[in-house]
Amino acid sequence: MLNALDSKIPKVLVVDHNEMMCRRAVGFLNAAGFWAESVLNAKSALRYIETKSVDVVLLDVDMPVIDGYEACQRIRASEKGASLPIMMLTKRDDAAAIDMAFDAGATDFATKPVNWPVLPHRLRNMLRTSEVVEALDKSRSSLDAAQRITGLGSWEYNMVSGELIWSDNLYRIIGLEPQSCDSTLSLFMKYVVDKDRSTVYKWLSSDSVEPGKMLKQQILTEDGEERYVRIQLKNELDGDGMVVRKWGVVHDVTEQYQAEKKIHLLAYYDSLTRLPNRVLFCERLARDIAIARRTPKEIAVLFLDLDNFKRVNDSLGHAYGDLLLQEVGERLQSCAQEINDAYQLEEGPCTVARMGGDEFTVLLTGLYDRSEVIKFATAITNELSDVYVLDGNDCHTSSSIGISYYPEHGDSVDELLKAADIAMYEAKKRGKGCYQTYSLAMDANSIRRYKMEELLRAAIDNDELVLHYQPQLNLETGKLESVEALVRWNSAELGFVSPGDFIPLAEDTGLIVPIGEWVLRAACFQAVEWIATGVPLERIAVNISVLEFIRPDFLSIVGEIVAESGLDPLRLELEITESVLVDDTSSAVDTLRALKGMGFQLSIDDFGTGFSSLSQLKHFPIDRLKIDQSFVQGMLENVHDSAIVRAVLAMADSMGLSAIAEGVETSEQLEFLYSHECDEAQGYFLSRPVPGAAISALFAEFNQVEIRNTGTGD
C-alpha cells in the first residue's frame, strides 16, 4: 500500500481565492513531484472533489462567502471527502485557531506565510498516515466481518500494561453492543455460568496454560440466553520466559453444540418415549459390567414386555399404541426415579430404556440385594397394570418381566439380555403380569420356542395344519347336531404340537391371523361338503382369537370366506372369549352386531372364567354361552362350581340364550346337566375331537340315521 503511494504521483487540490497564491502553490508543488491544480472558492472545490480524483487538499482558511472552516466541513460531509486528508492554511497558530481547524475536520494545518520547502514533506507524511489508517480500517472491518461469520471473538491481554482488548464480535457473543463498555476480565467472568466461573478464571489468569489448550464453556448472555463457547488461549513470552501478553479466541459453538446434542439424542434416545434406546442401554450395561469386574458387585437386567400391546395397537390404532407406550415409559421412569432418589446418586443405579416395540429394559446396578430387585419388579408390575386413560378411553395392559443377574447369568451385554429375554418368555407362559428370574433350565425351552416360531410360519404352506371336530349333543333331541372345529399342528419336525402350545405363540407373533383364516376356510368347506352328503349338521363352531376379532378387516374376511364356501351363514358359529367384551366395549358391540347382521351365530367360549358380568351380557347380541369345562368337571363335587353352573343356566334361560356345557366326561355330569335343562353338551364322554373323516360315521351311529358314505374328509 505504502509503496503504491510512491509509485504514483499524488494529486493535490489547492483552494485559495488569491489567484497569485494559487499559481505559486501549483508551480511549486508540481516541481516537488506532485500533480497540483487549483480552484478559487469552496463551491468549485466541492465540485472538483466530487468529479475528479484528489489525494490531498490544501485549503486556505481566509476566503470570502464560504470560508475555509465551512468549506472543510462541507468536504467532510460529502461522500468522497469524508476521509480525504485536508491541510488547512491559517494566518494564526494560536490554540483557538488550531482547535477551530481540527473541529472543522482538518487533518493537519500549516501557518501562513507558507514554508515552501517543508510543505511537500508534511503533505507526504499526511498522505502516508491516511493510507495506513485506511488500510487498518479495511483490515479491521474485514476481520470483524470474518469474526461475525465464523462466530469468533478475539481478545488480547497485555500483562504489563494491564490492558485488555476485545474484538467487536466478542461483545456481540456475550450480548453487548460492540465497544459499549470497558473490556475487563471480571466483566467477561460475569457471563460465565456460576459453576464454571472459578475454573475459567484460574485458567485465563494462570501463567502456565499449555499453548493451544482449549476450554469448552457455557455462558449466559446479557439477554439470559444460553450459549456454548470454546475458549482458546496463547501466551507470548519475553526473553526471560515471562508471559507478557496473552491472546486468544472465543468461539461461539452454540449451533454446533445443539446439532451435536440433537445427533446424540437421535442416536441414543428413543424419539417416542424420550427414554434411552438400545444403543445407550447396551453402552451403560457394558460400562457397569466393566466396573463390576474391578469392584465386584451384582447387576440386574430386567426385560419387560407388555402383554397385550398388539391388541391395543391393532384394535385402537397406532396412535393409541404410541400413547400407551409413552405412558408406560413415563410410569417406568417414575419408578426408576424413586429408586434413584432413594440411592441419591446423580446418575442413579437405575436406567430405563426402550428396546423397540413394546419391549423395555431396566438396568439396576449396585442395589443392596436381590430382594430390592424383586421389590422393584413388583412395583413396576403393579404400576403398569393400573388403568390407562388414553385420549378419554380406558385401556388395560400388564407386563411380563424377565430378570437376569451379572455375573451369575452371563458376563456380557448379550448374554445378560438374552437370559432376561428368555426369563421374560417364561414369565409370560406362567400367566401374564408377573416376573421371572432366569434359570438355566429355561434355555432349552426358549430354543424350542424360537424354533417353533420359525416352523409355525411355514406350517400353513407345508400343509401341516389339520382340523379335528368335536361333536356337540343336543340334550333336548338327544342327537348330535353340531361340531366344534379344533386345529391341530402335525409338524414334520416337532411332531404333534397341541394348540395349547402353539396358539399362544401364534397370538404373540401375529401368526394367528393367517392360521385363523385357514381354519375358517377349511371348516366352512368341510361343513358344506358334509351337508351335501347328508350329514345332519346344524352348526359348525369355529374359535376366533381376540386378535382376529379386533382387526378392522375381520368382518370382510369372514364374509368373503363364507361366501366363497357357499355355507349358509346361519350354520356358522363364531366362538369368542369374554375378553373381547371387557375392553373397549363399544367397538366390540359394533363388530358383534355386524356379525349378527350377516347371519352368524355367536357364542361366548370358556364362559365364567373371564371378567364379564352377567348383567353386562345383555348389551351383546349373543346366542349361546359355553360353560367352561372347569366348572363342569367340578360341579358334582364342588358346591361352588355347581352353584355357578346352575346360575349360568338359570340366567341363560331368563335371557333367552342357549347354554352348552364343555368338557363333559361322565354320564353323571351329563345327567346333572340334563336335569338342569342345559341345552347342549360337548366332551370326551360323547366323543373326543376326531378327524373330519370320522364325523359322518359318528353322526350316523349316534343319531341312528343313514348317511351316504362318500369317503371324503381328512
Q: Applying CB under 5 A, what is the total number of residues that bind Ca ion?
A: 5
680 lines the binding site for Ca ion (CB under 5 A): no
Q: Tell me the torsion sign for CA atoms 526, 529, 533, 539.
A: positive
Minimum distance of Ca ion from residue 531's CB (angstroms): 21
Shorter beta-carbon distance to Ca ion: residue 314 or 605: 605
Give residue 472's Cα distance to chain centre. Answer: 54
Nearest of 571, 580, 591 to residue 617 by alpha carbon: 580
Cell numbers for 108: 493537519
663's contact among ligand C2E, Ca ion, none, with CB below 5 to 8 A by partner kind, is ligand C2E
186's contact among Ca ion, ligand C2E, none, with CB below 5 to 8 A by partner kind, is none
Minimum distance of ligand C2E from residue 551's CB (angstroms): 13
Write the binding mask 660 to 679 for Ca ion: x where contact by CB under 5 A, - elsewhere: --x-----------------
Residues 527-546 that bind ligand C2E (CB under 6 A): 543, 545
470's contact among Ca ion, ligand C2E, none, with CB below 5 to 8 A by partner kind, is ligand C2E
Structure-derived torsion over alpha carbons of residues 329, 335, 339, 342, reported in degrees to the nearest 10: 130
Shorter beta-carbon distance to ligand C2E: residue 37 or 517: 517
482's contact among Ca ion, ligand C2E, none, with CB below 5 to 8 A by partner kind, is none
The partner residues of 639 in beta bridges, in order of sequence, read none
Question: Which phi and psi (to 5°) does residue 474 adopt?
Answer: -85, 115
605 lines the binding site for Ca ion (CB under 5 A): yes
Shorter beta-carbon distance to ligand C2E: residue 248 or 516: 516
- Interface with Ca ion by CB under 5 A: which range of 31-39, 98-106, 359-367, 543-551? 543-551
Q: Which of 107, 400, 526, 543 binds Ca ion (CB under 5 A)?
A: 543
DSSP string, 567-636: --GGGEEEEEETHHHHSSHHHHHHHHHHHHHTT-EEEEEEETSSS--HHHHTTS---EEEE-HHHHHHTT
499 lines the binding site for ligand C2E (CB under 6 A): yes
Are residues 676 and 644 in contact, defined by beta-carbon separation less than 8 angstroms?
no
Minimum distance of ligand C2E from residue 548's CB (angstroms): 7
Cell numbers for 165: 482488548
498 lines the binding site for ligand C2E (CB under 6 A): yes
- Specify the length of the chain in residues: 714
Three-class secondary structure of residue 191 per DSSP: helix
Minimum distance of Ca ion from residue 574's CB (angstroms): 10
Minimum distance of ligand C2E from residue 603's CB (angstroms): 10
58's contact among Ca ion, ligand C2E, none, with CB below 5 to 8 A by partner kind, is none
- Interface with Ca ion by CB under 5 A: which range of 11-19, 332-340, 461-469, 598-606? 598-606
CB atoms within 10 A of CB 59: 27
487's contact among Ca ion, ligand C2E, none, with CB below 5 to 8 A by partner kind, is ligand C2E
Element (H, E) at 541: strand 539-543
Residues 664-683 that bind ligand C2E (CB under 6 A): 664-665, 683
- Distance of alpha carbon 136 from alpha carbon 411, whole angstroms: 67
Give residue 104's Cα distance to chain centre. Answer: 67
Are residues 304 and 401 in contact, defined by beta-carbon separation less than 8 angstroms?
yes
- Distance of alpha carbon 105 from alpha carbon 86, whole angstroms: 8
Q: Which of 46, 511, 519, 698 binds ligand C2E (CB under 6 A)?
A: 519
578 lines the binding site for Ca ion (CB under 5 A): no
- The residues, ordered by sequence, that sit 6+ positions from 394 with a Cβ below 8 Å of its Cβ are 387, 388, 583
- The residues, ordered by sequence, that sit 6+ positions from 41 with a Cβ below 8 Å of its Cβ are 15, 17, 63, 64, 65, 66
Q: Which of 255, 286, 684, 691 binds ligand C2E (CB under 6 A)?
A: 684
147's contact among ligand C2E, Ca ion, none, with CB below 5 to 8 A by partner kind, is none
689 lines the binding site for ligand C2E (CB under 6 A): yes
Q: 86-90 and 108-111 as β-strands: parallel, antiparallel, unpaired?
A: parallel
499's contact among ligand C2E, Ca ion, none, with CB below 5 to 8 A by partner kind, is ligand C2E
Shorter beta-carbon distance to ligand C2E: residue 168 or 628: 628
Q: Strands of 299-306's sheet, edge to edge?
A: 350-356, 359-365, 299-306, 399-406, 435-437
606 lines the binding site for Ca ion (CB under 5 A): yes
Q: Applying CB under 6 A, what is the total number of residues that bind ligand C2E?
A: 20
Minimum distance of ligand C2E from residue 346's CB (angstroms): 51
- Interface with ligand C2E by CB under 6 A: which range of 129-137, 154-162, 299-307, 658-666? 658-666
641 lines the binding site for Ca ion (CB under 5 A): no
517 lines the binding site for ligand C2E (CB under 6 A): no
Shorter beta-carbon distance to Ca ion: residue 175 or 499: 499
Are residues 467 and 519 in contact, defined by beta-carbon separation less than 8 angstroms?
yes
Question: Which phi and psi (to 5°) does residue 213 adopt?
Answer: -70, 155
Enumerate helices (H) and strands (E) in the chain, giving the number of each. Answer: 27, 27
Q: 658-661 and 624-627 as β-strands: parallel, antiparallel, unpaired?
A: parallel
Omega before 407 cis (within 30°)? Answer: yes
Cell numbers for 380: 413396576
Q: Which of 105, 276, 471, 663 binds ligand C2E (CB under 6 A)?
A: 663
Question: Which phi and psi (to 5°) does residue 56 adopt?
Answer: -155, 150
Write the binding mask 574 to 613 for ligand C2E: x where contact by CB under 6 A, - elsewhere: -------------------------------xx-------
Element (H, E) at 491: strand 479-491
573 lines the binding site for Ca ion (CB under 5 A): no
- Interface with Ca ion by CB under 5 A: which range of 202-210, 368-376, 416-424, 599-607? 599-607
Half-sphere exposure of 89 (CA within 13 A, CB side): 22
- Interface with Ca ion by CB under 5 A: which range of 126-134, 314-322, 349-357, 603-611? 603-611
CB atoms within 10 A of CB 385: 15
Minimum distance of ligand C2E from residue 472's CB (angstroms): 10
Place of cell 515471562: 242
- Interface with ligand C2E by CB under 6 A: which range of 24-32, 526-534, 646-654, 660-668? 660-668
Omega before 211 cis (within 30°)? Answer: no
217's contact among ligand C2E, Ca ion, none, with CB below 5 to 8 A by partner kind, is none
Binding residues for ligand C2E (CB under 6 A): 470, 486-487, 498-500, 503, 516, 519, 543, 545, 605-606, 629, 663-665, 683-684, 689
Binding residues for Ca ion (CB under 5 A): 543, 575, 605-606, 662
